[in-house]
A = this chain, B = another copy of it.
Amino acid sequence: MPELRKDPIVDRWVIIAQERGKRPADFASPTVNSQAGFCPFCLGNESKTPQEILALRPNGSGPNESGWSLRVVPNKYPALTIEGGIDRVGEGMYDKMNGIGAHEVIIEGSCHEVALEELPERAVQETLWAFQQRIIDLKRDPRFRYILVFKNHGEAAGATLEHTHSQLVALPIVPELVLEELDGARRHYEYKERCIYCDIIAQERGDGRRVVMENHDFIAVCPYAPRFPFETWILPKYHSAHFEHDSTEALAGAANILKDVLLKLRMVCNQPPYNFVLHNSTVQSKHSAYFHWHIEIMPKLTKLAGFEAGTGFHINPVSPEEAADILRACTVHP
User: A residues near B, CB below 8 A?
Assistant: 3, 5-19, 22, 24-25, 27-28, 79, 91-94, 148, 150-152, 155-159, 167, 169, 171, 175-178, 180-181, 184-185, 188, 196-197, 199-200, 203, 207, 223-227, 229-230, 268-270, 272, 275-279, 296, 298, 301-307, 309-320, 322, 326
Contact = CB atoms under 8 A, between A and B. Distances in A.
A148 B18 CA distance: 32
Query: Which 10 A-B pairs give the minimum distances between C-beta atoms?
Result: A158-B305, A150-B306, A175-B311, A27-B301, A25-B270, A277-B310, A177-B312, A275-B306, A9-B184, A5-B225
Nearest to A318: B18
Residue of A16, A184, A298, A302 most packed against chain B (CB within 10 A): A16
A223 B14 CA distance: 11
A8 B200 contact: yes
Contacts of A197: 9
Contacts of A15: 313-316
A12 B312 contact: yes
A307 B92 contact: no
A175 B313 contact: yes
Contacts of A18: 317-319, 322
B28 A269 contact: yes
Residue of A22, A278, A310 most packed against chain B (CB within 10 A): A310
Given A24-B229, A207-B92, A279 B310 contact: yes
